[in-house]
Structure 1
Amino acid sequence: MSIAQALSNAVSGLTATARGTETVASNLANAMTPGYARREMAVSAQTLGGNGGGVRIDGIARIINASLLAEFRTAEAARANASTLSVYASRMEEVVGIAGNAGSLGAALTTFEAALQSAASRPDDEVRLAQVVDAAKSLAKHLNAASSEVQKSRTAADQAIAKDVSALNSGLERVAYLNRRIAILEADGTDPSSLVDERQKAVDAIAKIVPVQEVARESGKIALFTKEGAVLLDGSIPAEISFVTSGDLTPERDVASGALARLNFDGAELTDGQMKLFSGGSLEGHFTIRDQSASKLQQDLDALAFDLHQRLADGAVDSSLAPTSAGLFTDGGGRANAADVLGLAGRIAVNSAVQPDEGGQVWRLRAGMQASAAGAVGDSTLLLAMSAALSKSSSAFLGSDFEGSATLSGRFALVESRVSTNRVGADAETAIRSSQADTISSRVMADGVDSDAEMQKLLQYEQAYAANARVIQAIDDMMDQLLRI
């Protein structure tokens, strides 16, 4: 081996160790950077004239486990979906309350029933009669507030859908842009790893909104599909996804009637069946709240309000009532009917006939809502009848989700139980999904930068650097000897 060849070999070794050291430094510096994939330097022996010619750097490889990454994205989408539903379920439990706890709907009903019983024992005491009115108003306000919060949750979900769609479009545009940049760098022979890291981070964010499948294309590009097969990006132009918000929602506005929008995909609104193409992430969670979970709770609250109204608007309970007259509770001042129950929980109110501040008289609780005179002050017949009507088992009205016969307090407790059960189930699902996502995330991290392994590589590069440096030093000494001859 000539001196020149030995020098060339040593220089190529120093170049390789310098590049390897840079790779290790980059790995250690970005160990916790989202989207960053471990780098490894690929080298091979090169030959010159059939003899060893040192080492050649073949490139810097970006190390990623594609199947593990896909599993991680699916788990993150499931966690986002479960978390969205869990937050909603917790809020609804706060609004409706837990059975037996102060501040719950059931507690308001219990207070009202207790006030009726107290007034029945002293029907002549106008203070007790006023307490019945106050308890009735409190119960109505609890139903009103619960209905209002349900609709606020639907409105918030509608707005969250718009935000998710905006983020999804921005993410797809970013991936499309990075696809183009990566293709250009690869054509120039430049390492595009940093842009690939950025693209991976963008796809990870998209996957939380809707789970995606990544498919490699030519020139370093990727295509994105939803798990159910909708094409989000395959080429340079992403799919066109849009959504129109609906403002403040009311119980009457639903997607089936066309009052609420679904997703628009490439210019056409998706059908209910086609919406499954976007299932699995936070986007689906918001649609579930807006169109299913909150609407179902509104129906239950309306059924409770109608049951309460009907029990005290019965002519057998209050003989002063005409067939079209409202009882103690009214629907906007009039009598509720089964054909217009939707939204009743938000409209139910106490009859102004018993409210002194609205020109009413509390003695009507004793004599009847439509009574023309106060009657005997010691007559507790109506008060007892109203109390008995509330505690009587009766069949649910046609169209409600209640089955069989039950007391009013039993139905209030059933709704509270449903809400609490939904919250417990949502929390359990979130815990499971979070545990799965954390486990897979740990595997992704373990498959990424290992600081101990990187430090071992650094020691190896240091030793290789020292060895090549000694060769160059020896050549320098030899050249000095030759020049002194």
Structure 2
Amino acid sequence: MSIAKALSNAVSGLTATARGTETVASNLANIMTPGYARREMAVSAQTMGGAGGGVRIDGITRVVNAGLMAEMRAAGSAQAEAATRLQFLNAAEDLIGLPGEAGGLGSALSGFQSALLEAGARPDDELRLANVLSSAQGLASRLNAASDAVQAMRGEADHAIARDVAALNTGLERVAYLNKRISIITAEGNDPSSLVDERQAVIDQISTIVPVQEIAREHGKVALFTTEGATLLDGSTPAQFGFAEMPQIAAGQTPDNSLMSRLVVNGAELSASQMRLFAGGSLQGHFSVRDELAPQLQQELDTLALDLHDRLASAAADPTIGAGGAGFFTDGGSRADLSTVVGLAGRLSVNAALDPTQGGDLWRIRSGTGAATAGPAGDTAQLNRLTAALDKAQAAPATGVLLGNATLAQRIAGLESLTSTRRVSVEADSAIRNSRYETISGRFMADGVDSDAEMQKLLEYEQAYAANARVIQAIEEMMDQILRL
């Protein structure tokens, strides 16, 4: 081998070790950077005139396990959806309360029943009658507050959908822009790895909103589809998503009977069946809360309110109420019925005829809501009828929820149990999805930058540098000897 060829080989080796050292430094510096993929330097033997000519740097490659990344994104979408549902069900359980828990519906009913029993023991005591009124108002207020909270959570879900749609549009626009930049940089022969890292991080964020499939296209570009096949981005222009946020949502409002919006794609609003194309992720979770979970809870509260109303408005509970007359509890001052049950939990109130602050009289609690004159102060019959009506096992109003015969206390206990069961079920599902995501993301991270492996490479580059430097030193010594001849 000639001296010139040996020098060329050594210089190419030094160049390769310098570039490799830069790659290791970049990997170690970005070990915790989201979306960063490990870099590896690709080299091959260089030939000159049919003989070895040192080392050629073929480029810097990003090392990413595409299959594992797709699994991680799918697991992240599922995790986000379950977390959204669980957040609502935790709040729902707090609204309904647990058996014996202060502030719950069961506790409010117990307070009302206890007040009726105490008043029945001393019907002449106006303080006890006032306690019946106060506890009844507390029960109605608890139902009102629960109903208002459910609608507020629907409004929050509606607002969250608008946020997700805005983030989805922004993310897709960014991916489209990065596609163009990566394509240009690749065509120029430069390394687009940093932009590819950024694009990966953006797609990861999008995948928490809707599950994403990433398909490679020419010149380093990618196309994005949902797992159900809807196109998000395929080409230079992403799909445009829209959503009309509601300023306020009332009980009973749905996308079919109001201005409430479903997802709009490229100017066309999706039907209920088409929404499955975007199933999974936080977006579906928020739609489920707004259109399924919250309305279901509202129906149950309305049925409970109608059951309470009907028990104390029956002729058996209060013979003084005329046909169609308002009973102990009213729907905004009127008698409630099945046709007006929607939103009743938010409107239920104690009859003004029983409330002295509204021009009523406490003695009507003892004598009957529709009584024209006060009966005997010691008459317990009406109070006993009210108590018996609450304790009677009877069928629930025909709303399709809270089925079976039960007392009112059993009805509330059943709703408490049902709400807790739903929360436990989704919590278990959420725990499974969290575990799966953590496992897959752990495997993905382990497949990324390994600091020990990078330090081992650094030592190898150091040894290679020393060897090439020693060759150059030897050549220098040889040249010195030749020049001294």
TM-score by length of 2: 0.99
3-state SS of the aligned residue for 2:247? coil
Q: 1:65 — aligned with what? A: 65
Task: Name the amino acid aligned to 2:475.
Answer: I
Give, in whole Å, the separation in 2 of the partners of 1:372 and 1:399.
34
Within a 5 Å distance, the mapping from 1:463-482 to structure 2 comes to 463-482=463-482
1:312 Cα deviation from its structure 2 partner: 0.5
Q: 2:77 — aligned with what? A: 77
3-state SS of the aligned residue for 1:214? strand
Give, in whole Å, the separation in 2 of the partners of 1:193 and 1:41.
12
Task: Name the amino acid aligned to 1:402.
Answer: L
Give, in whole Å, the separation in 2 of the partners of 1:302 and 1:31.
54
| Matching of residue 154 in structure 1 with residue 141 in structure 2 | no
Q: 2:426 — aligned with what? A: 426
Task: Name the amino acid aligned to 1:152.
Answer: A
Deviations 1:223-249 (A, max 9, x none): 000000000000000001111001111
Q: 1:25 — aligned with what? A: 25
Unaligned runs of 5+ in 1: none
Deviations 1:87-112 (A, max 9, x none): 11111111111122111101100110
Q: 1:228 — aligned with what? A: 228
Q: 1:302 — aligned with what? A: 302
1:402 Cα deviation from its structure 2 partner: 2.1
CA contact (8 A) 1:303 1:341 kept: yes
Task: Name the amino acid aligned to 1:387.
Answer: T
Q: 2:132 — aligned with what? A: 132
3-state SS of the aligned residue for 2:277? helix
3-state SS of the aligned residue for 1:114? helix
Superposed CA RMSD: 0.8
1:404 Cα deviation from its structure 2 partner: 2.0
Give, in whole Å, the separation in 2 of the partners of 1:134 and 1:408.
19
| Matching of residue 6 in structure 1 with residue 6 in structure 2 | yes
Q: 1:389 — aligned with what? A: 389
Q: 2:457 — aligned with what? A: 457
1:258 Cα deviation from its structure 2 partner: 3.8
Within a 5 Å distance, the mapping from 1:130-209 to structure 2 comes to 130-209=130-209
1:267 Cα deviation from its structure 2 partner: 1.4
Give, in whole Å, the separation in 1 of the partners of 2:420 and 2:403.
19
Q: 1:256 — aligned with what? A: 256
CA contact (8 A) 1:300 1:400 kept: no
Give, in whole Å, the separation in 2 of the partners of 1:50 and 1:348.
95
| Matching of residue 267 in structure 1 with residue 282 in structure 2 | no
3-state SS of the aligned residue for 1:235? coil
Deviations 1:278-305 (A, max 9, x none): 1110000000000000000000000000
Give, in whole Å, the separation in 2 of the partners of 1:360 and 1:396.
30
Q: 2:380 — aligned with what? A: 380
Give, in whole Å, the separation in 1 of the partners of 2:240 and 2:324.
54
CA contact (8 A) 1:7 1:475 kept: yes
CA contact (8 A) 2:210 2:279 kept: yes
Deviations 1:196-248 (A, max 9, x none): 00000000000000000000000000000000000000000000111100111
CA contact (8 A) 1:255 1:262 kept: yes
Deviations 1:429-477 (A, max 9, x none): 1111110000001000111011111111000000000000000011111
Give, in whole Å, the separation in 2 of the partners of 1:417 and 1:205.
36
1:266 Cα deviation from its structure 2 partner: 1.5
Within a 5 Å distance, the mapping from 1:335-350 to structure 2 comes to 335-350=335-350
Give, in whole Å, the separation in 1 of the partners of 2:283 and 2:333.
40
3-state SS of the aligned residue for 2:45? strand
Deviations 1:234-275 (A, max 9, x none): 000000111100111110311232431100111111011100
TM-score by length of 1: 0.99
Identity of aligned residues (%): 60
Deviations 1:46-88 (A, max 9, x none): 1111111100000001000100000000000011001111111
Give, in whole Å, the separation in 1 of the partners of 2:206 and 2:242.
15
1:415 Cα deviation from its structure 2 partner: 1.1
Task: Name the amino acid aligned to 1:139.
Answer: L
CA contact (8 A) 2:112 2:135 kept: yes
Q: 1:324 — aligned with what? A: 324
Deviations 1:288-338 (A, max 9, x none): 000000000000000000000000011222111111211110100111011
Task: Name the amino acid aligned to 1:198.
Answer: E
1:417 Cα deviation from its structure 2 partner: 1.1
Runs of 4+ with >4 A deviation:
none
